[in-house]
């Protein structure tokens, strides 16, 4: 027997910029980015914008065109594509086709850029189309939600939903750069604004107890949309995510997914609710369920569990609903375990908690114990409502 072998590594390098009013003519962040890359003027940039962002910022298209008009390093393609926001953008393969058609029609090559402005779902869609067109066009992300600025928008994953399964089609392809503009957060509904905080709680619970303590102490300010506190949360959460990406398995070749704490049920719950439950809301309920399961297995002290549940409630999250409740072994949410394992590849790997800030991987989930965990969460939520009503 004879064979040849090759081994090589590829370095990925990108920056997360934190700014305000990115397309204001006095803000040179984006212009300086192109100057630093020493582009020669032949490159193009094409924008895809989340429809919700477009409606909330009706002058955005004009601001983008005015901003790029004096730039010599890159040429703006004035035909800006508007796509539906939310999971709808990832469920419709026709939108993927539109982006690929734009690449073809406008002659967008591998040295040019496609920029996405929107929430995490739109960034996922555009990132996937960008990664597979010409085997990779330079991708710029401009996240516009709390969830995408502190989590999904700064990572290396892209994808669309296919055959009724979340992220069935996708790639690992880091962006060229990410620009977090805090002004986009100002037009979010309270529901969307709050939703993204759950991902910060998630990463704090598995990686950084002091960050969790800070979130717990600042629930009122975060709930009241204090910009300074939110900017701190987003930047700190982004740092923890980037630190994880720089670890030994950034492209998730193994079965461990610590950043998917609380997600096995969240992904299934979104599907069961026909995505009427937002991702961040589902993650909050997934955190509550898996934290409680951690307690019932003897891993997590009950007082720490109750701090988690109270923090979620104090941020106005629901910690259970009809879709995630586990009444018996036929409950639909339990199918999420098998689907999560299929998505991971290999054996089932779930992150539980042994303490605030410390995660532990397990490879099985006891259905009877999950039923008890679901009841515990429901009872805790009910008792809290009774106490709150009584205090009023």
Q: How do the domains of the chain map onto residue ranges?
A: 15-187, 190-244+252-391
Cβ partners under 8 Å of residue 166, min gap 6 = 90, 267, 270, 271, 343
Residues pairing with 294 in the sheet? none
pLDDT attached to residue 321: 95
Across the range 354-381, mean pLDDT stands at: 95
C-alpha–C-alpha distance, residues 380 and 74, integer Å: 56
CATH fold of 15-187 reads Rossmann fold (3.40.50)
pLDDT at 319 over 60: yes
pLDDT attached to residue 275: 86
pLDDT at 277 over 90: yes
Q: What is the dihedral of CA 10, 32, 180, 25, to 10 degrees?
A: -160
Say if strands 74-76 and 43-50 run parallel, antiparallel, or are unpaired.
parallel
At residue 369 the predicted structure's pLDDT band, cuts being 50, 70 and 90, is very high
pLDDT at 183 over 70: yes
Minimum mean pLDDT among 89-98, 132-141, 365-374: which range? 89-98
pLDDT attached to residue 255: 42
C-alpha–C-alpha distance, residues 281 and 271, integer Å: 13
Q: Which residue has the higher pLDDT, 172 or 280?
A: 280
Whether 159 and 169 have beta carbons less than 8 Å apart is answered as yes
Q: Which CATH number fits domain 190-244+252-391: 3.90.1150.10, 3.40.50.2300, 1.10.1040.10, 1.20.1090.10?
A: 1.20.1090.10
C-alpha–C-alpha distance, residues 309 and 326, integer Å: 18
pLDDT attached to residue 302: 97
Say if strands 113-118 and 43-50 run parallel, antiparallel, or are unpaired.
parallel
320-333: pLDDT as tens digits: 999 999 999 999 99
Cβ partners under 8 Å of residue 172, min gap 6 = 156, 157, 158, 250, 251, 252
Residue 329: exposure state from Cβ atoms within 10 A (0-12, 13-18, ≥19): exposed
Cβ partners under 8 Å of residue 174, min gap 6 = 12, 14, 156
Q: Which residue has the higher pLDDT, 390 or 353?
A: 353
If one counts every other C-beta atom within 10 angstroms of the C-beta of residue 364, the result is: 10
Across the range 169-196, mean pLDDT stands at: 92
C-alpha–C-alpha distance, residues 327 and 371, integer Å: 6
C-alpha–C-alpha distance, residues 290 and 309, integer Å: 11
Across the range 275-303, mean pLDDT stands at: 96
At residue 248 the predicted structure's pLDDT band, cuts being 50, 70 and 90, is low
Q: Which residue has the higher pLDDT, 181 or 157?
A: 181
At residue 47 the predicted structure's pLDDT band, cuts being 50, 70 and 90, is very high
Across the range 182-205, mean pLDDT stands at: 94
Whether 57 and 50 have beta carbons less than 8 Å apart is answered as no
Cβ partners under 8 Å of residue 64, min gap 6 = 23, 47, 76, 80
Across the range 258-275, mean pLDDT stands at: 88
C-alpha–C-alpha distance, residues 183 and 180, integer Å: 9
At residue 154 the predicted structure's pLDDT band, cuts being 50, 70 and 90, is confident
Q: Which SS3 state, helix, strand or coil, does residue 116 take?
A: strand
Mean of pLDDT over the chain? 90
At residue 311 the predicted structure's pLDDT band, cuts being 50, 70 and 90, is very high
pLDDT at 220 over 60: yes
pLDDT at 99 over 70: yes
Q: What is the dihedral of CA 296, 300, 306, 310, to 10 degrees?
A: -120
DSSP assignments along 42-65, one per residue = -EEEEEEEEHHHHHHSTTHHHHHH
pLDDT attached to residue 101: 93
C-alpha–C-alpha distance, residues 387 and 33, integer Å: 53
Q: Which residue has the higher pLDDT, 346 or 375?
A: 375
Which pTM does this prediction carry?
A: 0.88
Round to the nearest angstrom and report the end-to-end CA distance of the chain. 80
At residue 185 the predicted structure's pLDDT band, cuts being 50, 70 and 90, is very high
Across the range 343-350, mean pLDDT stands at: 77
Say if strands 74-76 and 81-83 run parallel, antiparallel, or are unpaired.
unpaired
**Polymer length of the chain:** 392
Across the range 153-167, mean pLDDT stands at: 82
pLDDT attached to residue 390: 62
pLDDT at 79 over 50: yes
DSSP letter (8 states) at residue 94:
H
- In angstroms, what CA-CA distances link 240 with 5, 219, 227, 287? 36, 20, 20, 18
Q: Which residue has the higher pLDDT, 389 or 296?
A: 296
């Amino acid at each position: 027997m004879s064979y040849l072998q090759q081994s090589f590594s590829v370095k990925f390098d990108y920056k997360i910029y934190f700014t305000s009013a990115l397309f204001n003519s006095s803000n040179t962040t984006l212009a300086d980015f192109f100057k630093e890359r020493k582009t020669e003027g032949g490159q193009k940039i094409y924008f895809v914008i989340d429809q919700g962002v477009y409606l909330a910022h009706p002058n955005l298209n004009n601001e983008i065109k005015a901003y790029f008009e004096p730039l010599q390093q890159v040429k703006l393609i004035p035909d800006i594509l508007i796509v539906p926001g939310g999971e709808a953008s990832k469920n419709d393969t026709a939108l993927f086709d539109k982006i690929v058609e734009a690449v073809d029609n406008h002659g967008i090559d591998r040295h040019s850029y496609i920029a996405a402005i929107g929430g995490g779902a739109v960034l996922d869609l555009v990132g996937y189309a960008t990664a597979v067109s010409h085997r990779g066009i330079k991708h710029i992300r401009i996240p516009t939600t709390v969830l995408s600025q502190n989590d999904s928008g700064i990572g290396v994953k892209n994808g669309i939903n296919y055959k009724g399964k979340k992220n069935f089609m996708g790639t690992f392809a880091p962006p060229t750069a990410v620009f977090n503009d805090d002004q986009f957060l100002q037009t979010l509904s309270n529901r969307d604004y709050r939703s993204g905080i759950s991902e910060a709680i998630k990463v704090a619970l598995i990686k950084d107890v002091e960050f969790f303590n800070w979130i717990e102490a600042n629930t009122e300010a975060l709930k009241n949309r204090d910009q300074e506190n939110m900017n701190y949360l987003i930047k700190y959460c982004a740092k923890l995510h980037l630190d994880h990406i720089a670890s030994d398995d950034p492209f998730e070749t193994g079965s461990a997914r610590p950043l998917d704490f609380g997600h096995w049920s969240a992904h299934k719950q979104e599907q069961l609710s026909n995505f009427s439950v937002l991702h961040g809301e589902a993650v909050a309920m997934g955190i509550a369920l898996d934290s409680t399961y951690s307690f019932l297995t003897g891993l997590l002290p009950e007082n720490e569990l109750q701090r988690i549940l109270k923090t979620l409630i104090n941020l106005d999250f629901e910690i259970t609903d009809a879709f995630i409740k586990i009444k018996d072994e036929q409950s639909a949410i339990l199918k999420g375990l098998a689907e999560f394992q299929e998505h991971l590849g290999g054996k089932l790997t779930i992150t539980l908690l042994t303490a605030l800030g410390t995660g532990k991987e397990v490879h099985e989930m006891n259905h009877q114990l999950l039923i008890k965990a679901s009841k515990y969460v429901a009872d805790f939520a009910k008792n809290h409502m009774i106490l709150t009503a009584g205090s009023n």
